[in-house]
Amino acid sequence: MVRSGFLLENICKKYLVDNKEHLVLDNVSLNISSEEITVILGESGCGKTT
């Protein structure tokens, strides 16, 4: 059995731009085991730490 190191379930995220909602994540789930190495890549200012 693999133990979870990091678990996200049913994540939703919306942004409000010009009084319009923009759905960017819709019920996203992620399970990273404690035995995995995971990185988040992206350009400067793209929202990696948001």
Is 24 part of a structural domain of the chain? Answer: yes
At 16-33, the pLDDT tens digits run 999 999 999 999 999 888
Q: Tell me the pLDDT band of 10, cut-offs 50, 70 and 90.
A: very high
Predicted confidence (pLDDT) at residue 1 exceeds the cutoff of 80: no
* 18 falls within a domain: yes
Is a pLDDT exceeding 80 seen at residue 48? yes
Number of domains in the chain: 1
Q: How far apart (Å, rounded) are the C-alpha atoms in residues 49 and 40? A: 9
Residue 8 within a domain: yes
* Structural domain that includes position 20: 4-33
The residue among 9, 44, 14, 16 whose CA lies nearest residue 30 is 9
Pairing of the two strands 4-17 and 20-33: antiparallel
In a domain, 23, yes or no: yes
In this structure, the number of other CB atoms found within 10 A of the CB of residue 32 comes to: 13
Give the Cα separation of 33 and 6 in Å (integer).
Answer: 7
